[in-house]
Amino acid sequence: MSKRSQGVPLSFLMLDPSRGTGPLHRRLYERLREAILSGTLAPRSRLPSTRTLSRELGLSRGTVEEAFAQLDAEGLLERRVGSGSTVALPEHSRAPRSTRVRGGASSARGAGLSRRGRRMASDVLPPEARDVRPFTPCLPALELFPAKAWARAVARQARALVPERMLSGEPEGFRPLREAIAAHLGPARGVRCDWRQVLVFSSTQQALDLTARLLLDEGDGVWLEEPGYLGARVAFDAAGARLHPVPVDAQGLQVDTGRARAPRARLVYVTPSHQYPLGVTMSLPRRLALLEHARASGMWVLEDDYDSEFRYATRPVAAMQGMDAAGRVLYAGTFNKVMFPSLRLAFLVVPDSLVDAFASARASTEGHAPVLTQAAMADFMEAGHYVAHLRQMRQVYAERRDALLDAWRREGHPALRLGEAEAGMHVTAFLSGRRDAQPRMEERRLGARRLSPLYLGRAREQGWVLGFSGASPAGLRGAVRELSRLLE
């Protein structure tokens, strides 16, 4: 590359087609993102137009356009039609850090990190919600949480801190909590397990991260739902896995496509009860086909049952784990969505053959979650507060969903079509052919999340993930009205 554009040296963007995996637009996007987040490309610096850049890098303009669109969607670029784009700071400003004096160019570029460290540092998850907006996905109705019953359980367990409880706990988790989880999952979710198979984690993310390390080596293939959950993509990417996006249709994951594209993949990540983000339920034939492929090929199935306790028209669909006779399914669930996000308790039910390996790995990578929060959660469950809270939230979220659907019928913008809303804490709104019309700053104010970054490959649909569980019916009605106005 002989020319430099607008003063920013772009040679680091040159892609070597013989190295790396994944589509070119994705690799370009990742380099740019890393450069922006690390400060190599400073805030407010200007990038050349996609036309200029595609010429300089020898890439198709569509490739560059796709990369820029995603950076724009994530708020890392500010694009101006006809002229170049400007590096933005993400709205979730990293100001306290990024305004500090850095240790010079080498540290800004992440010198001293390992290769996998650079991958981990650049796989930036969108920040968790730090305030309550009407459409923030997966946000519980915090104002209705039985805070007093919880505080009593915590205080009771804090007072019960006898020396025996002060010693290190088991790496698998606090036994009364493991028992309470196993007892709940059988009737509630059709999960078949003994309490010894239940391992306690801090979050689904932590469970995914450890699973990826224990079951995958660098370069091992993983099927990911397309579109799908970013946390899973980040965990498997950090482990150096080769990511295979497998499309999701109205029946759920297209198992045949996955088998054709990556027959020897070592693991599949699925959300069969309520696909994130599309909201579909995986059909029985697809479940059976997936389990059969897993059995025959030795593939592990990671079933993430993140919000499936909430189903409004019918009974919750049983977990796939209960149908697995071959011991291939790992079942993940979390309390951070049903209770509250700062709690930090989640769990994984693993096949018996993996219990010892997970226990050793838990010990050598962390130890265990605090006994206090585990004991308080077990107390809260044993006293019946958990099931009562679930039951109340099922009703509250149904009302909120109804309020959203009702407002949508009256005031929803015709360019937006709503997806499945039978279950869970969110619904996806699809935008018909108007990508450039997406108003960025305002969607953030509403808490809506863009759909396009949830595609690993080229986004087939544009739109937003709209949470409905965290806001009042009135708040949701106002947010529908505002979103429609923004699209005028």
Residues 390-449 that bind its own copies (CB under 8 A): none
Residue number, 118 or 435, with CB nearest to its own copies: 118
Candidate residues 57, 77, 87, 238; the one interacting with its own copies per rule CB under 8 A? 238
Contacts for 474 with CB less than 8 Å, ≥ 6 apart: 403
Q: In angstroms, what is the minimal distance from the CB of 162 to its own copies? A: 8
Q: In angstroms, what is the minimal distance from the CB of 242 to its own copies? A: 13
Q: In angstroms, what is the minimal distance from the CB of 198 to its own copies? A: 13
Euclidean distance between CA atoms 252 and 225, whole angstroms? 9
Q: In angstroms, what is the minimal distance from the CB of 232 to its own copies? A: 11
Euclidean distance between CA atoms 50 and 254, whole angstroms? 34
Residue number, 175 or 184, with CB nearest to its own copies: 175
Residue number, 316 or 370, with CB nearest to its own copies: 370
Q: Which of residues 92-111 bind its own copies (CB under 8 A)?
A: 94, 96-97, 100-103, 107-108, 110-111
Candidate residues 65, 90, 113, 478; the one interacting with its own copies per rule CB under 8 A? 113
Total chain residues near its own copies (CB under 8 A): 99
Residue number, 39 or 463, with CB nearest to its own copies: 39
Q: In angstroms, what is the minimal distance from the CB of 323 to its own copies? A: 17
Q: Would you count residue 306 as binding its own copies (CB under 8 A)?
A: no
Q: Would you count residue 235 as binding its own copies (CB under 8 A)?
A: yes
Q: Which of residues 143-202 bind its own copies (CB under 8 A)?
A: 143, 145, 147, 150-151, 154-155, 158-159, 161, 163-169, 196, 202
Q: Would you count residue 298 as binding its own copies (CB under 8 A)?
A: yes
Residue number, 158 or 288, with CB nearest to its own copies: 158
For the chain, the three-class secondary structure string (H helix, E strand, C coil) is CCCCECCECCHHHCCCCCCCCCCHHHHHHHHHHHHHHHCCCCCCCEECCHHHHHHHHCCCHHHHHHHHHHHHHCCCEEECCCCCEEECCCCCCCHHHHCCCCCCHHHHCCCCCCHHHHHHHHCCCCCCCCCCCCCCCCCCCHHHCCHHHHHHHHHHHHHCCCHHHHCCCCCCCCHHHHHHHHHHHHHHHCCCCCHHHEEEECCHHHHHHHHHHHHCCCCCEEEEEECCCHHHHHHHHHCCCEEEEEEEECCEECHHHHHHHCCCCCEEEECCCCCCCCCCCCCHHHHHHHHHHHHHHCCEEEEECCCCCCECCCCCCCCHHHHCCCCCEEEEEECCCCCCCCCCCEEEECCHHHHHHHHHHHHHHCCCCCHHHHHHHHHHHHCCHHHHHHHHHHHHHHHHHHHHHHHHHHHCCCCEEECCCCECCEEEEEECCCHHHCCHHHHHHHCCEECHHHCCCCCCCEEEEEECCCCCHHHHHHHHHHHHHHCC
Question: x-or-dash pattern for its own copies, window 344-373, by CB under 8 A?
Answer: xx-----xxxxxxx-xxx-xxxxxxxxxxx
Q: In angstroms, what is the minimal distance from the CB of 16 to its own copies? A: 19
89-97, 411-419, 427-435, 456-464 -> range binding its own copies (CB under 8 A): 89-97
Q: Which of residues 125-144 bind its own copies (CB under 8 A)?
A: 125, 127-132, 139, 142-143
Residue number, 367 or 384, with CB nearest to its own copies: 367
Q: In angstroms, what is the minimal distance from the CB of 482 to its own copies? A: 22
Q: Would you count residue 222 as binding its own copies (CB under 8 A)?
A: no
Candidate residues 58, 62, 112, 186; the one interacting with its own copies per rule CB under 8 A? 112
Q: Would you count residue 215 as binding its own copies (CB under 8 A)?
A: yes
Q: Would you count residue 300 as binding its own copies (CB under 8 A)?
A: yes
Q: Which residue has the tokens 């772009």?
A: 10
Residue number, 352 or 399, with CB nearest to its own copies: 352
Q: Would you count residue 234 as binding its own copies (CB under 8 A)?
A: yes
Q: Would you count residue 19 as binding its own copies (CB under 8 A)?
A: no
